[in-house]
């Protein structure tokens, strides 16, 4: 990838196009809001803290980006400067229980407040003061400019820059080798040559797909309501080690083994021999983007056939082949994602791995 000279517009990446198209259909949908919560302990130098955030926003074009349409095509509009505003709220007069309630209320409010992609900024910052030495920092950024991996990158740079500004030290991080717009331009150039082959592959994957009627307590409501809940379960350490050992024996990762296991459960309940399972990948195979904030995550579709009465080891092999094949054929464009998300693919298997 080549770093270009500053230009105030650039094409959208494939990932951004998919999100942008959904936003055009459902502008008030807030499911793409990423809300991160950082607890800060110790005396806070607010001036240095805000200066560190401003430095990050100026360092990475993607955080100074809005979205528009030119010549009937969506494009990134890159601004040379974007003001950083931090909403400060004092909660020090409240009890611990009341503070926790207020923090949850702020998180809920941020997660449910939509962004205007054309106007920007696509970030919001809130600082909740619990007392003189304890604070909660809420960072809300739209998914079109940042993925889960980028949260760790942002927090890491914030720590480095804050420490430097507090101690009047020079900034030690080198300038980014490229900007996100360089990645988008390079990706668009490559996709011109692979689009036909990739589209044929994905059409073959979803051909004949039928939602198998997963039994539920209530009828499924289609549409963009954005309602969800979280159920947490922990795999014990001894079982985790057995999972890793078994996966090595099968030349698979625990991710592949667990994915195969989920497909077996779905097949048991649905009887569908051609299951479609969603799978997100980090999309950061190129070393230039591993430390660069932006939207790189990619939704792939894994199709594993259950014909021929396979045992579990065979399902693992089929899952591995399907996964590797999906990696080789790039990105699902919106024209193919829409029928998948609307009719066929309601379950995704996701593994988050945040950088250190």
pLDDT digits (tens, 9 = 90+) for 50-77: 999 999 999 999 999 999 999 899 999 9
Long-range contacts of 15-18 (CB under 8 A, 24+ apart): 15/283, 15/295, 15/296, 15/297, 15/298, 15/331, 16/67, 16/74, 16/76, 16/144, 16/184, 16/295, 17/74, 17/333, 17/334, 18/299, 18/331, 18/332, 18/333, 18/334, 18/337
**Confidence label for 354 from pLDDT (cuts 50, 70 and 90):** very low
Q: How far is CA 27 from the centre of its chain?
A: 19
Cα 43 off chain centre by: 32
Nearest to 186 by CA among 178, 175, 176, 174: 178
For 331, list phi and psi in degrees, rounded to 5.
Answer: -115, 145
Say what the pTM is. 0.85
Sheet holding 348-349, edge to edge: 298-305, 274-281, 348-349
> Which own/partner pairs from 161-169 qualify as long-range (CB within 8 Å, at least 24 positions apart)?
161/51, 161/52, 161/55, 161/56, 162/45, 162/48, 162/49, 162/52, 164/52, 165/45, 165/48, 165/51, 165/52, 165/55, 166/45, 166/48
Pairing of strands 65-70, 274-281: unpaired
**Dihedral over Cα of 119, 110, 225, 32: its sign:** positive
**Those residues with Cβ within 8 angstroms of residue 109's Cβ, 6 or more apart along the chain or in another chain:** none
Query: What number does CATH give the domain 199-215+237-349?
Result: 3.30.559.30
Asked, colleague to colleague, whether 9-181 and 199-215+237-349 share their fold, the answer is yes
Q: Where are the domains of the chain?
A: 9-181, 199-215+237-349
- 53: how many CB neighbours lie within 10 A of its CB? 23
Length of the chain: 356
Span 66-120, pLDDT tens digits: 999 998 999 999 999 999 999 999 999 999 999 999 999 999 999 999 999 999 9
Residue 338 has pLDDT above 60, yes or no: no
**Is the model more confident about 257 or about 172?**
257
pLDDT grade for 18, boundaries at 50, 70 and 90: confident
Q: What is the mean pLDDT of the chain?
A: 87
The reported pLDDT for the residue numbered 304 is 82
Say which CATH topology domain 9-181 has: Chloramphenicol Acetyltransferase (3.30.559)
Residue 247: pLDDT band (50, 70, 90) is very high
Torsion sign across C-alpha atoms 90, 95, 96, 101 = negative
């Amino acid at each position: 990838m080549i770093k270009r000279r500053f230009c105030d517009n650039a094409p959208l990446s494939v990932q951004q196009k998919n999100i942008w198209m959904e936003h055009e259909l459902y502008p008030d949908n807030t499911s793409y809001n990423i809300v991160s919560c950082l607890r800060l302990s110790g005396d806070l130098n607010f001036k240095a803290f805000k200066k560190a955030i401003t430095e990050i926003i100026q360092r990475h074009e993607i955080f100074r980006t809005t979205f528009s349409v030119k010549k009937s095509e969506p494009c990134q509009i890159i601004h040379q400067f974007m003001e950083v505003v931090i909403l400060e709220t004092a909660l020090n007069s409240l009890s611990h229980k009341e503070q926790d309630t207020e923090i949850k209320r702020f998180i809920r409010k941020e997660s449910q407040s939509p962004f205007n992609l054309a106007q920007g900024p696509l970030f919001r910052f809130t600082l909740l003061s619990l007392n003189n030495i304890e604070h909660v920092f809420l960072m809300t950024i739209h998914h079109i400019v940042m993925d889960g991996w980028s949260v760790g990158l942002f927090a890491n740079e914030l720590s480095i820059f804050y420490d430097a500004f507090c101690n009047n030290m020079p900034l030690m991080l080198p300038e980014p080798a490229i900007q996100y717009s360089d990645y988008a331009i390079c990706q668009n150039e490559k996709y011109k040559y692979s689009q036909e082959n990739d589209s044929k592959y994905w059409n073959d994957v979803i051909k004949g797909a039928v939602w198998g009627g997963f039994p539920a307590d209530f009828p499924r409501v289609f549409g963009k309501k954005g309602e969800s809940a979280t159920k947490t379960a922990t795999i014990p350490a001894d079982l985790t080690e057995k999972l890793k050992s078994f996966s090595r024996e099968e030349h698979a990762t625990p991710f592949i083994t667990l994915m195969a296991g989920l497909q077996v459960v779905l097949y048991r309940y649905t009887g569908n021999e051609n299951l479609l399972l969603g799978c997100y990948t980090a999309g950061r195979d190129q070393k230039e983007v591993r430390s660069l904030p932006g939207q790189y995550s990619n939704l792939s579709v894994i199709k594993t056939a259950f014909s021929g009465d396979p045992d579990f080891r065979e399902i693992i092999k089929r899952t591995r082949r399907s996964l590797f094949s999906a990696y080789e054929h790039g990105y699902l464009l919106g024209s193919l994602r829409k029928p998948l998300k609307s009719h066929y693919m309601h379950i995704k298997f996701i593994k988050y791995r945040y950088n250190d």
